[in-house]
Amino acid sequence: MNEKVLAALNKQINMEMRAYYTYLSMAAYFESEALSGFAAWMQHHSGEEMMHAMKIYDYIHERRGRVVLDALPSPQNTWESPLRAFEDALHHEQAVTASINALVDLARAERDHATDHFLQWYVNEQVEEEAVVDAAIQKLKRIGDFGPGLYLLDRELGEGSGESEAEAEVD
């Protein structure tokens, strides 16, 4: 496996694990705010992020590369509002998208067609990830400080946090 691509894939694993850790911290924050639906939604998405990391982990090993894990920094653990937490989640997803795009560019520049093909799943996944988080942000902006609206969104998010991508995905 090309060394530059391998280093970038390892960096991406660590970025996905930071996303896992960040979303898990957001879940804990929402639990502490008695917003169990928001917490379930974030916990579900943290699991998806770990699945994303493990998919790259497995790919590296399949290509006979070596995975290198870095220490994870402590994530933020409190936010001024649910809206602010989701805005932070969107900014994080946008950073992941930029990182995936850079990885695709690198794979193409290095003529690593297998990695380019592998990364297309992530390109498509990031479009969905950003859209889902943005939809929650738009709802939170409409709700504002309206308590009953927040209650209904909490319930909706809790109901929508069902099975993980890994369980739903059929290879």
170 domain residue, yes or no: no
Total count of domains within the chain: 1
- Two structure tokens written together for 119: 């990364």
Amino acid of residue 2 = N
* Count of Cβ atoms closer than 10 Å to residue 117 Cβ: 10
171 domain residue, yes or no: no
Q: What is the CA radius of gyration of the chain?
A: 17
Picking from 18, 25, 28, the residue whose alpha carbon sits closest to that of residue 72 is: 18
pLDDT tens for the chain, 171 residues long, are 899 999 999 999 999 999 999 999 999 999 999 999 999 999 999 999 999 999 999 999 999 999 999 999 999 999 999 999 999 999 999 999 999 999 999 999 999 999 999 999 999 999 999 999 999 999 999 999 899 999 999 999 999 875 444 334 433
Range(s) of the domain holding residue 58:
3-163
CATH code assigned at 116: 1.20.1260.10
7 domain residue, yes or no: yes
Picking from 17, 19, 18, 25, the residue whose alpha carbon sits closest to that of residue 77 is: 25
Q: Please name the helix (run of DSSP H) or strand (run of DSSP E) that holds residue 84, with its range, or none.
A: helix 82-109
Looking at residue 169, its pLDDT comes to 42
Looking at residue 165, its pLDDT comes to 41
13 domain residue, yes or no: yes
Q: Please name the helix (run of DSSP H) or strand (run of DSSP E) that holds residue 47, with its range, or none.
A: helix 36-62
38 domain residue, yes or no: yes
Looking at residue 166, its pLDDT comes to 38
169 domain residue, yes or no: no
141 domain residue, yes or no: yes
pTM value? 0.89
155 domain residue, yes or no: yes
Contacts 24+ apart (CB under 8 A), 116-123: 118/59, 121/55, 122/52
pLDDT tens string 4-24: 999 999 999 999 999 999 999
Picking from 127, 89, 120, 92, the residue whose alpha carbon sits closest to that of residue 104 is: 120
The helix/strand/coil state of 35 is coil
Looking at residue 167, its pLDDT comes to 39
